[in-house]
Structure 1
């Protein structure tokens, strides 16, 4: 003798209704866990900045002051500075360019050499004419970044902050001829 379908379902360990309830419960728990773990988070600020970064030659020829940040994805100081840099870049969009160059990308080796990058984050500061006018070494707070950006936009002297300064007109051989020691060159990933 055969039992009707609903009787067969009732005799099995899990009937159709129970399986549907369990499937719905599992889906709800999966969504909850997904949400608690951050869901579909937008890109981190460092990645956002890098993606919307203009090409360096375009930025330097744009007639706007430019900040070039040498960074690496693994650099904690770069990551901690990124939210402030991203927010300020958004506030000053149209008045100032922010260009990010990853020191781990061989494409930027000539720029790493040209700007003597030996630690990160390193900011190279350019005036409206694309001339290099200063440098900032190390992580910066939002107020410090804001002060640097304001000085560039308003064409006023760079702020007096530790690790920020105008560039000397003396370079390489000229420095040696002037009796100054040439700086030791190390790679940006050496932190030494």
Structure 2
């Protein structure tokens, strides 16, 4: 009887240790993934637009929203692209839900997100793409931007989330926060 009790205790201790180790691994794995690819984390790490326009480097400006499923889907690839091109290109992120960026939203005619604006070294907008873009297209455009040549995919359009200026207080939840403003 004591052998069975001892065996059960050892088994229970091993199971408990395995559960703790797996829980810790899962927790830290999710923390690392979330911190490096979340839209909020990337926005906090992005370069302020004023700095980007003044430092003489080309810039990729992304208009996004936290509720935008296309923006969320692209976040891990954008994080990888930022690591690869961060020394050569400014990465600016502007949240369309922040009224502070209304002048930029109007200037670049943002009506769907994600909306990417490619700015040359002088801060002039030379191309825009709207919607979910494959990593290869963004990289091709960035390589051309760095080389100061014509962007190969200057006006591509992928899957977007609609964005309309106006209050989202009474918006339909299926509209991802967008609301049609009637005049």
TM-score greater than 0.5 by the shorter chain: yes
Change (3 A) 1:190 1:94: same
Counterpart CA distance in 1 for 2:156 and 2:179 is 15
Change (3 A) 1:28 1:44: same
Match of 1:32 in 2: 22
- Within the candidate set 50, 62, 69, 1:69 is matched to 62
**Cα drift, residue 191 of structure 1:** 8.2
Task: Looking at secondary structure, tell me which structure has more helix per residue.
Answer: 2
Change (3 A) 1:73 1:35: same
Match of 2:173 in 1: none
Could you tell me the TM-score, scaled by structure 1's length? 0.67
Q: CA RMSD in A?
A: 3.0
Structure 2 counterpart SS, 1:41: helix
Match of 1:5 in 2: none
Q: Which runs of 5+ in 2 are unaligned?
A: 1-8, 158-162, 167-176
Deviations 1:30-88 (A, max 9, x none): 55335346655121513332121011011011101001000011211111112222111
The structure that has the greater radius of gyration is 1
Q: Which runs of 5+ in 1 are unaligned?
A: 1-17, 165-184
Structure 1 counterpart SS, 2:106: helix
Counterpart CA distance in 1 for 2:31 and 2:146 is 33
Deviations 1:78-126 (A, max 9, x none): 1111222211111112210110111112222222122211110000110
* Structure 1 residue 110 corresponds to structure 2 residue 103: yes
Task: Count matched residues.
Answer: 156
Instruction: Give the ranges of 4+ consecutive aligned residues of structure 1 lying more than 6 Å apart after TM superposition.
Output: 22-25
